[in-house]
Amino acid sequence: MLELAGPAALAAGVLAIAVPAAIERFGGLLGGILGTMPSTILPASFGIYQEAESAEAFVAAMGVVPLGMLLNVGFLYSWRLFPPWVANLPLAFRVTLLGVATVGLWCLAATLVVVESRALIAAGVSPLWLGAGATAAMVFFGLLACRTNPPGPRGSRKVSAPMHLARGVLAALAIGVSVILAALVGPVASGVVSIFPAIFLTTMVALTLAQGVQVQAGAVGPMMLGSSSVAVYALLAATLFAPLGPELGGLVSWLGSLVLSSVPAWWWLQRATTRSQER
């Protein structure tokens, strides 16, 4: 898995530039869905499959990925919930404080998820059932957040090349380190660590600094809902990698996640937006 830290970091760096740019260009609705399609989970899943001691260990790792993504949904929502509390602080300090607080809460919650997941799996609970339940919860909270989502306008300010570069470098470092750690902490923990919210963090920070709170807040709901595609990918990969092999299984899992999650999420958001405009 260590040899995949480089590709995963590179993918994260590219995405950290592309995701905020998509939201700035297309608005929070379409940009949020595009930005949450399965990406860094692909090289991470290949690495976990190679390093897993058995098929059961790989299934356990993939089964808890949706639990980690459920944490990421909470991470995203915190960027809608917390900003009003610190609205009077200077922008740079406010964003730094939010970043440290939200990542700290994610790490604490991730530790609890790993401990409890290991206990449940040891007690005989199927990791796929855990993952399916977490995926259903993600969809529920994503739909709920989108129903109360503020408008997701396009960005109106030009972003400098150094800002784009900073986005990419920071995300690449974070994902590279997380993939290396995932190789060292066991299958269950690796499934959670592999989806550390580096892309979400850089997206929220970058949008707040470059475009303001309105663009950032408008992207939260669609990103929460769109994140379920990563969970769907993990569940499909858990069942398809062994019979099809990681290459074909990964491709089918990725396409399946788009058909089962990303496309329906985009369709539902489009209809919801159209209905609200007609009113």
Q: What are phi and psi of 59, to 5 degrees?
A: -60, -40
Q: How far apart are CA 208 and CA 92, in angstroms?
A: 10
For the chain, what is the domain count? 1
Question: What pTM was computed for the model?
Answer: 0.82
- What is the reported pLDDT for 238? 94
**Residues spanned by the domain of 130:** 2-278
49, 178, 251 from 255: Cα distances, Å: 19, 25, 6
Question: How far from the centroid of its chain's Cα atoms is residue 57's Cα?
Answer: 22
- What is the reported pLDDT for 30? 62
Q: Which of the residues in the chain have pLDDT under 70?
A: 1-32, 34-35, 149-194, 210-217, 273-279
In this predicted model, what pLDDT tens digit does every residue of 33-57 receive, in sequence order? 766 788 777 877 887 787 777 888 8
* Single-letter amino acid, residue 211: Q
Please report, rounded to a whole number, the percentage of residues in the chain having pLDDT higher than 70: 66
Number of Cβ within 10 Å of residue 212's Cβ equals 15
- What is the reported pLDDT for 140? 94
- What is the reported pLDDT for 173? 66
